[in-house]
Amino acid sequence: MVRARRDHNLPRRWAGRAVCGRGSPRSRYLQDRHVEALGGRGRTDRLHPLSGAAPVLWRGRSRGYYWTSHMSNRPDAIGLFWEDLPPVRGKGSKGARTIGPMPRIPATGWQTPEFPNLSAAKVVGLDTETYDPELTKSGPGWARGAGHIIGISMAVDDGTSWYFPMRHGIDPDGKQILPPEEAALNMDPEKVLSFVRHVLQDQRPKVGANLIYDIGWLRQEGVIVGGPLYDIQFAEALLDSETPGVGLEDLAQKYLGMGKETSILYDWLASWLGGVANEKQRKHLWRSPPSLAGPYAEADASLPIRILEQQWRAMEPRGVLELFDIECRLINLLVRMRFKGAPVDVGKAEQIYEELGGELTSIEGQLKEIAGVPVNPQAGASISTAFSRLGIPAPKKVDKKTGESKVSFAAPLLEDIDHPLCEKILEYRRAAKVRNTFIKGYIIDKHVNGRLHCSFHPLKGDTNGARSGRFASSDPNLQNIPVRTAMGKRVRQAFVASAGGRWRKWDYSQIEYRMLAHHAVGEGAEELRQIFINDPDADYHEVTIELIKKLTGIDLDRRPAKTINFGLIYGMSEKSLAERLGLTPAAGKDLFANSPQAAPFARATMDEASREVHNVGYVTTILGRKSDFPTWTSKRYEPGAPALSYNAACRRWGPYNIQRAHDHKALNRKLQGGAADVMKKAMVEAFEAGLFEEDACGMPCLTVHDELDFDDTTDPDNPMWDELRRVLENAVPQIRVPIRIDDSVGPNWGEAD
């Protein structure tokens, strides 16, 4: 509580006005709080002119004067909460909003704990609270050197938990913004880190939620966590691949019927900083008083232990405990990979950016020559004008929801039009995408001292990750850089090896088709497996080309053969297959009719995967990963029929007229999930064998699709690469055909072929 200034005269226009304007939640909140503060009559009190009253500011503007009639004879007793302090401007970019005065801090009774003796604990739960200013823009700041830990929470298996606040209220300039009594609750960071380092280095299991985030921040502060790591978000993704949410709040509600202690904390932050009182307030946690954050943070460490107990009982009958172990053993590896980062040549990227700018200008000129008017390739109205001038019918796309046809200049529609205008529009868009998204957005804007520290996501989470179990990446997402195109190669050429080193790319050769051979059933399945056993380097597409030629007389090139193989195992329709290959409907029909005869096992294996979905509701990969199909649809063909929950589908069509939806994706999920099993098991084994240490092959800097990439600075004759190949090719002995790694080397990623 502070005393009001007395150097302001109260304007007479405020006489008789309410303490706060009625109606707004903010007004009611302040008036109710001042009933407690001033002992007054609440909303019925009126302001009276009196020299010495202090104006109340909110977001930089005068909102009136807090002065109640019953205190008019006690000018020295005017009491204001912290919320009545003048506002401060928030840190940030131009246009940052103004932060209002800090609200009164409600009493919680929470006190800074003593360091406990945890020697008797069998399991330790952990969580970090952080100041992470670039999280939404560039990913967790621990690998980029942006931000810091503000507190660490720990819990043990008997339910006891502690929170050790370290840096609450310290702004980016190093100034303390909290009241002295709250700032005093912060503990000495060095003492906290020393205690945590001592506890977490042992071999007891550590449990948490989103542990890659926490382990990264702890490592950044010099704390190396030992022992098995168990992440409840990984467990949930394995228990339900279609789960709508794996956040701690969601899991606590699901398994324990309770949420986190958040209401007081989030309400307080929202009343001060605006916004809704929910998880979005986490970004402001560094501003919060330890007395409010303490109960919240303690739950973050204790709840995962209780949740895992129930998840474990569910994982055993589902058959995913082995996979859970593999996924969790990846955590330390993925943290270290992100710390290392991928080296990039920023100068090269800037050069490509300028070159592409010139190319875009040139294409704009060519478009004007073709159309006779300037054309903006990104604007539908501009393209429509050009189409009209040239007499080209505007392409239309059917809206699946309404059934209406609407003009659209989306890339797939333009690709079907044989006209130079469309070719140049598509060329422009591809170049602009590469220039703005990949070169500038990914490399120039996100590098830190010549390295990109992207995040790797092994499983589906709330915001990132893939349901298949394959790795996803973000900040930046290097997996969506075009593959095997001239533009994609230009982007990859900016990823360069360190001085004196080589970019080394290790790619699983046709891993999905090897998984197909493993799971294949029906006619020709054993013959296919025998081909790979006899020749481990056999090319699946070449095998298919020979078989199709024997049956149809058609001598396909490799690219069409790949399209056919892709279509056969992923359920591509006859029409789509013909369109992708550029064939007439008759030729496409003939090819489609004969292709399954060349590879009869493909259709049989696809049908078997669909039957698995209909029988048990999921498909299972080679290591037991389950991909769920929880939605249902009508057995009868119904254009545009939605996929619904079981109860909703029963209400719409009846329980005997429904079947699992999307079963045509079953084989795809099975093969992709199996490829993920192989990659992850191999990475774990290589990591734990020491092959990723700097005195062996070095830490991978990227994993993209089926490849591992290295900034290789080792001796060219380093024998450890042969050992790494052996591990990667033999990590999953259950597979019934040999697996092969393609190893390529070059000065940069684009030329490592």
Q: Which of 44-48, 140-144, 678-682 has the lowest mean pLDDT?
A: 44-48
With CA atoms as reference, report the closest residue to 127 among 99, 146, 155, 107.
155
Which tokens is 630 given?
């929880």
* Confidence band, pLDDT 50/70/90 cuts, at residue 64: very low
Whole-angstrom CA distances from 598 to 129, 185, 518, 524, 584 are 58, 73, 18, 9, 21
| Domain residue ranges of the chain, discontinuous segments joined by + | 2-99, 124-318
Mean pLDDT value of segment 371-381: 95
Q: Give the pLDDT score at 565.
A: 83
Q: Regarding predicted confidence, which is higher, 716 or 548?
A: 716
Q: How confident is the model at residue 19 (pLDDT cuts 50, 70, 90)?
A: very low
Lowest mean pLDDT among 40-49, 602-611, 616-625, 665-674: 40-49
Percent share of the chain, pLDDT over 90: 70
Peptide bond into 476 cis (omega under 30): yes
Look at residue 729 and give its three-state secondary structure: helix
At 16 the pLDDT is 37
Q: Distance between CA atoms of 153 and 196, rounded to whole angstroms?
A: 9
Q: Residue 143's CB: how many other CB atoms inside 10 A?
A: 26
CB count within 10 Å of CB 689 equals 14
Higher per-residue pLDDT: 10 or 644: 644
Structure tokens at 733: 């002995």
Closest CA to 302 of 264, 227, 251: 251
Give me the amino acid identity at 204: R
Pairing mode, if any, of strands 502-508 and 472-474?
unpaired
Confidence of residue 585 (pLDDT cuts 50, 70, 90): low
Could you tell me which residue, 558 or 668, shows the higher pLDDT? Answer: 668
What does the alpha-carbon distance between residue 741 and residue 369 come to, in Å, rounded to a whole number? Answer: 49
pLDDT confidence tier of residue 40, bands split at 50, 70 and 90:
very low
- CA dihedral over 630, 637, 407, 356, signed as positive or negative: positive
According to the model, what pLDDT value does residue 125 have?
Answer: 98
3-state secondary structure of 534: helix
The residue behind tokens 């702004």 is 171
Q: How far apart are CA 300 and CA 79, in angstroms?
A: 37
Distances (CA, A) of 57 to 23, 83, 101: 18, 10, 8
CA dist., res. 102 & res. 266, Å (int): 14
pLDDT surpassing 80 at residue 400: no
Could you tell me which residues come within 8 angstroms of residue 181 by beta carbon, excluding any fewer than 6 positions away? none
376 pLDDT higher than 90: yes
pLDDT digits (tens, 9 = 90+) for 171-222: 999 999 999 999 999 999 999 999 999 999 999 999 999 999 999 999 999 9
Helices (DSSP H) in 372-499: which residue ranges?
Answer: 380-390, 411-415, 420-433, 486-492
Q: Please, is 91 exposed, middle or buried when counting C-beta atoms within 10 Å of its C-beta (0-12, 13-18, 19+)?
A: exposed
126 and 308 Cβ atoms separated by less than 8 Å: no
For residue 137, the model assigns a pLDDT of: 92
Q: Give, for 197, the enclosing helix (H) or strand (E).
A: helix 189-200
Q: Minimum mean pLDDT among 92-106, 295-309, 489-503, 612-626: which range?
A: 92-106
Per-residue HEC secondary structure of 287-307 comes to HCCHHHHHHHHHHHHHHHHHH
CA dihedral for 381, 385, 388, 393, sign (positive or negative): negative
Whether residue 57 has pLDDT greater than 50 = no
Picking from 547, 529, 655, the residue whose alpha carbon sits closest to that of residue 599 is 547
pTM (2 d.p.): 0.84
| pLDDT value at 491 more than 60 | yes
Confidence label for 591 from pLDDT (cuts 50, 70 and 90): low
- Of the candidates 174, 208, 207, 168, the one whose C-alpha atom is nearest the C-alpha of residue 189 is 168
- What integer pLDDT is reported at residue 592 of this predicted model? 65
Mean pLDDT of the chain: 85
Confidence band, pLDDT 50/70/90 cuts, at residue 78? very low
377 with 360: CB under 8 angstroms?
Answer: no
What's the pLDDT at 398? 80
Q: Is 464 helix (H, G, I), strand (E, B) or coil?
A: coil
Q: Tokens at residue 108, please?
A: 């919680």
Residue 544 banded pLDDT, cuts 50, 70, 90: confident
Q: What is the pLDDT of residue 463?
A: 76
| pLDDT above 70 for 742 | yes
Average pLDDT, stretch 297-319?
97
Q: Is the pLDDT of residue 109 over 50?
A: yes
Contacting residues for 750 by C-beta, under 8 A, at least 6 apart: 488, 489, 490, 491, 492, 493, 494, 495
- Convert the pLDDT of each residue in 407-438 to its tens digit: 999 998 999 899 999 999 999 999 999 999 99
Q: What is the pLDDT of residue 539?
A: 93
Highest mean pLDDT among 34-38, 280-284, 467-471, 729-733: 729-733
pLDDT greater than 60 at residue 478: yes
Round to whole Å and give the CA distance between 415 and 421.
11
Mean pLDDT of 278-284: 91
Residue 671 scores a pLDDT above 70: yes
The CATH class given to the 124-318 domain equals: alpha beta
The pLDDT score that the predictor gives to residue 638 is 85
Q: CB of 231 within 8 A of CB of 208? A: yes
Q: Is the dihedral of CA 407, 410, 413, 415 positive or negative?
A: positive
Least confident piece of the model among 56-60, 524-528, 611-615? 56-60
The CA distance from 588 to 602, in Å, is 18
CA distances to 25, 333, 660 from 613, rounded to whole Å, are 52, 34, 7
Instruction: Kindly indicate the confidence band of residue 21, based on its pLDDT and cuts at 50, 70 and 90.
Output: very low
Q: What is the pLDDT of residue 587?
A: 67
| Alpha carbon distance 175, 469 (integer Å) | 44
Instruction: Dump pLDDT digits (tens) for 689-707.
Output: 999 999 999 999 999 989 9
End-to-end CA distance of the chain: 69
- Quick one: average pLDDT of 127-149? 96
Q: What is the mean pLDDT of residues 139-146?
A: 96
Token pair listed for 449: 């001292």
Check residue 98 and give its pLDDT. Answer: 60
Name the nearest CA neighbour of 66 among 2, 130, 133, 157. 2
The secondary structure of residue 718, as a DSSP letter, is -
| pLDDT score for 571 | 64
CB atoms within 10 A of CB 333: 21
Q: Residue written as tokens 């948490």? A: 208
CA angle 695, 701, 707 (to 5 degrees): 105
Q: What residue type is 534 in one-letter code? A: N
Mean pLDDT of 589-609: 78
In 3D, which of 72, 74, 159 has the Cα closest to residue 123? 159
Instruction: Indicate whether 106 pLDDT > 90.
Output: yes
Please say if the pLDDT value at position 42 is more than 70.
no
258 pLDDT band, cuts 50/70/90, is confident
Work out the pLDDT band at 31, boundaries 50, 70, 90: very low
For residue range 506-519, list pLDDT tens digits in order: 999 999 999 999 99
Most confident of the following: 3-17, 257-271, 568-582, 643-657: 643-657
pLDDT of residue 6: 35
183 vs 641: CA distance, rounded Å: 59
Q: What percent of the chain has pLDDT over 70?
A: 82
Q: How confident is the model over 310-332, as a mean pLDDT?
A: 98
Residue 560: per-residue pLDDT: 77
